[in-house]
Chain A
């Protein structure tokens, strides 16, 4: 047993080293290398290049600004909705949850594309309707602006912050709020001064995750930022990765991203340590939904408004374009066709391959991430191995690495010989695994903490070994959780753009890469059709998964 434990521990350390430490170290190292022929010794030349032009610096500043705007807007949109779902008697909660889930299934670049169709200054549907109705010369919206970009990224970041926020809110016991009520505080005061401060760590965490997503998102940056004449970190990184290739400069340019992220998480830790948030132990306490009275319709209205921005309008324009000969011609029988789907499904060789690629890589990454996360979580929770804390931190570190930076790290670490993994399925699976390992680990360790070790001890007393305890007790308890987390990682990986874009090869294109390529073609109709195909196939997987898991995968506590 001891031998086995040591072997597993060694395997874990090696795997985490390969997935997390090595790529991260490579980013730092490569940023310090000479560009030409790599003479030995380190240099800051790449930093001089990466930050030696006003436009490059402007990109960093724009992205920082964008991140703050997106994260704040996203919280403003999400928190009332999450609060209403988690804490109140708002009607139609399953509907709101379903809409949030649909938002999660919808890849953000699909959202960006649809919002171009909706709010492009001259041709966008909303502007055209406004002009037709009011007779004004021009419509009010311009998606090609910083505000437009912020809005689009913010609304498609809602699912993550919703999950974080509502999960935390569900844990706050009503007793705390009752105490405030008894002391004379009204409902609003209680919510603002008791409930929300109690979930501050979760809110801050959600803010940071959204910020990170915003500063490293590629799809929306290209689809909206570029036409808006706004330079952004992802756009500049794409330029360094273009022709002529300047990987060293790209690595150097990514450093502020890493530093800002590390700084944010340190800040969060400090804030967390300053106060006690013991209400989040999850133990005891009664939780009653707050009665909103008539205001519950207001809450529902808000939730539906927000989710119709993300989902309803999007699928409306997407359906129109996907079945149209030319989308700008509008609705009409003479404009209907199935040609876009026929073209994609039967006349284009790459779609079927990329469909298979997408779901194979996503499934492999989800399985690998779960296996790694469960093993680590179990060993750490039961204190079976040394350095458990370090292992946990390693599993969570990719949270703090923007997708593009991780991709540069994987490229630097695994593309050159001897491994030469560039363009292979392996490198994509590894990168997806690393990128979404934190989601799997956070859930696995939370679930593991919920399992009382006494159950396993009972097995031991009855003469069973650890393997029997695992197979007979731990895994069956975790079964549903495992399926839910698997789905979560699977979906996230199946729509991943930022790391895929830097690592794919001719035979390993995924659907999101294909979509990204298609956004550069004139065929908006085909693009919309591809988007629908992606969304529908993902929904099928989710439907099957939910049947198996017996609950939604958004980690609701029922």
Chain B
């Protein structure tokens, strides 16, 4: 079994090398409309969705003042107040970076760099920076912010109206799987309503229309505007260019 976000195009590499087993899960056509375009028929299937939005420290910022778009982060008033992760370490940030570069070009980060964001390895580090009050706003997966807020930390999340980032988790079976039947059964489980419910309970989004997870603030996935998703096939090329340029900008 090979289960990942596919950021970096690992599934395409495995397909190219003939390393994946062909298998069409029974649940394949029961997946929700949001993820159906992301299927690689016969090989790679979505099994969960994560969303990246804008999180902010509620002790330092009133809800009314929190930024509601990605572009708002470019305002000089956020100088020294933003936390982000490094795409060469963090998949969440790589997904966010690719989405932004696809929609706004690399210029977005050149402008963002002027606001001197705190760059740490992982998205989770951004949460630490928020909770500690080291920074005030951050690009952050909503599930992380929600879980942390539930523990009593001063953090809340906004879904940017210029396109919340969707990150899809996929699953595929390796051709050399020692127990192919177990792998197929587990694939069925990952695409089942039961697993989707587990996803929803962990503040992630389900891939089955039967299970509707709530997002932070109580809405549904269909209530928010999603940025065009990055297909795993595009990400290999997109990411290798991006990481180099990104690091030139933020690590020199």
Interface string of B106-149 (1 = CB under 8 A from A): 00000000000011111011011101111100000000100010
Interface residues in B203-252 by Cβ distance below 8 A to A read 240, 244, 247-248, 250-252
Q: How many residues of A contact B (CB 8 A)?
A: 30
A243 neighbours in B (Cβ, 8 Å): 8, 88
Is B153 an interface position by the 8 A CB rule?
A: yes
Q: Nearest Cβ in chain B — how far from A433, in angstroms?
A: 30
* Nearest CB in chain B: distance from A289 CB, A: 47
The stretch from A52-60, A278-286, A408-416 touching chain B is: A52-60
Residues of chain A in range 120-143 having any CB-CB distance to chain B below 8 Å: 120-124
What's the nearest-Cβ distance from chain A to residue B245, in Å? 10
B89 & A229 in contact (Cβ 8 Å cutoff): no
Quick check: is A520 within 8 A (CB to CB) of the other chain? yes
Indicate if the CB atoms of A242 and B128 lie closer than 8 Å. Answer: no
* Contact (A231, B247) CB under 8 Å given A55-B252, A242-B88, A522-B131: yes
For A144, the chain B residues whose CB sits under 8 A away are 118
A-B Cβ contacts below 8 A, count:
76
The reply to whether A123 and B132 contact each other, CB–CB distance below 8 Å, is yes
Interface 9-residue window, one of A64-72, A325-333, A389-397: A325-333
Bound form: Cα–Cα A229–B89 in Å:
14
Cβ–Cβ contact A520 & B118, under 8 A: no
B88 touches A239 (CB 8 A): yes
**Complex: A229 Cα to B133 Cα, angstroms:** 20
B residues near A55, Cβ cutoff 8 Å: 247-248, 251-252
A244 touches B252 (CB 8 A): no
* Cβ contacts under 8 Å, B62 to chain A: none
**Which residues of A have CB within 8 Å of B151?**
325-326
> If A227-B119, A521-B124, A524-B128 touch, does A123 touch B88 (CB 8 Å cutoff)?
no
Question: Residues of B contacting A229 with CB < 8 Å?
Answer: 119, 250-252
How many Å lie between the Cα of A229 and that of B115 in the bound state? Answer: 13
B133 near A122 with CB under 8 A, answer yes
A54 touching B248 by the CB < 8 A rule? yes
Q: Is B252 a contact partner of A521 (Cβ separation < 8 A)?
A: no
The distance in angstroms between the C-alpha atoms of A120 and B83, with both chains bound, is: 13
Mask of A196-232 contacts with B, CB within 8 angstroms, 1/0: 0000000000000000000000000010001101110
A74 within 8 Å of B by Cβ? Answer: no
Q: A122-B133, A520-B125 are in contact. Are A227 and B118 (CB under 8 A)?
A: yes
Give the CA-CA distance A58 to B118 in the complex, in Å. Answer: 20
Question: Binary interface profile of A, 513-542, with partner B (CB < 8 Å = 1, else 0)?
Answer: 000000111101000000000000000000
Closest B residue to A520 using CB positions: B122
Known interface pairs A239-B88, A242-B88, A243-B8; A121-B134 also in contact (CB < 8 Å): yes
Which residues of B lie under 8 Å from residue A226 when comparing CB positions? 86, 119-121, 251
Given known pairs A123-B132, A326-B152, the reply for A227 and B124 (CB within 8 Å) is no
Given A120-B132, A325-B152, output 19 extra A-B contacts at Cβ < 8 Å. A121-B134, A122-B133, A123-B129, A123-B132, A229-B252, A231-B252, A235-B251, A239-B88, A242-B89, A244-B240, A326-B131, A326-B153, A519-B121, A520-B121, A520-B125, A522-B125, A522-B127, A522-B131, A524-B132
Question: Could you pull out 19 A-B pairs where Cβ atoms are within 8 angstroms?
Answer: A55-B252, A120-B132, A121-B80, A122-B135, A123-B129, A123-B132, A124-B134, A226-B86, A227-B119, A229-B119, A239-B247, A242-B88, A327-B132, A328-B133, A519-B121, A520-B124, A520-B125, A521-B122, A522-B125
| Chain B residues packing against A (C-beta within 8 Å) | 8, 80, 86, 88-89, 118-122, 124-125, 127-129, 131-135, 144, 148, 151-153, 240, 244, 247-248, 250-252
